[in-house]
Amino acid sequence: MNVTIRLFAQFRERFGPVHELALPEGERLAEVLHELAGQTPDGVAALFAPNGRLLDYVIVMQGAARIEHDHAATLELRDGDTIAVFPPVAGG
């Protein structure tokens, strides 16, 4: 299946803007993000806490729906999914 991961703000500078991935069926969201993050020095720490959970403030969207982090570990991706990952920027 084909899945698109789009990254924004400082995650874009760290991981690149978009990754088009060909994945086996049944891949889970958190695993895919962990593997993608691991391709960059310190990338895992930018997205995940030491306990392996996504950092609280990281926003992950599947289409227009925000994914609760408790759900990310078990959520199976679907062919054609677009996943957006970004940190809310805070400055004014």
Partner 1 sequence: MAAIELDSSERERYGRQLLCLGEEGQSRLKDAHIVIAGAGGLGSPIAIYLAVAGVGRLTLLDRDTVERTNLNRQILHGDADLGRPKVESGVEALRALNPSIRIEGIRVTITDENAASLIGDADGVVDAMDNYPTRFVLNRVAHERGIPLFHGAIRGFHGQATTCVPGRGPCLACLFPNVPPKEVFPVVGVTPGVIGCIQATEVIKYLTGEGDLLTGRLLLWDGLACSAEEIAVEPRTGCPVCS
Structure tokens at 8: 């924004």
Nearest approach in angstroms of CB 82 to partner 1 is: 9
Q: Are 9 and 86 in contact (CB under 8 A)?
A: yes
Contact letters for partner 1, residues 30-69 (x by CB under 8 A): --------------------------xx-x-x-xxxx---
* 71 to 12, 14, 23, 68: CA distances (angstroms): 23, 25, 19, 5
Question: Site residues (CB under 8 A) for partner 1?
Answer: 6, 8-10, 12-13, 17, 56-57, 59, 61, 63-66, 84, 86-92
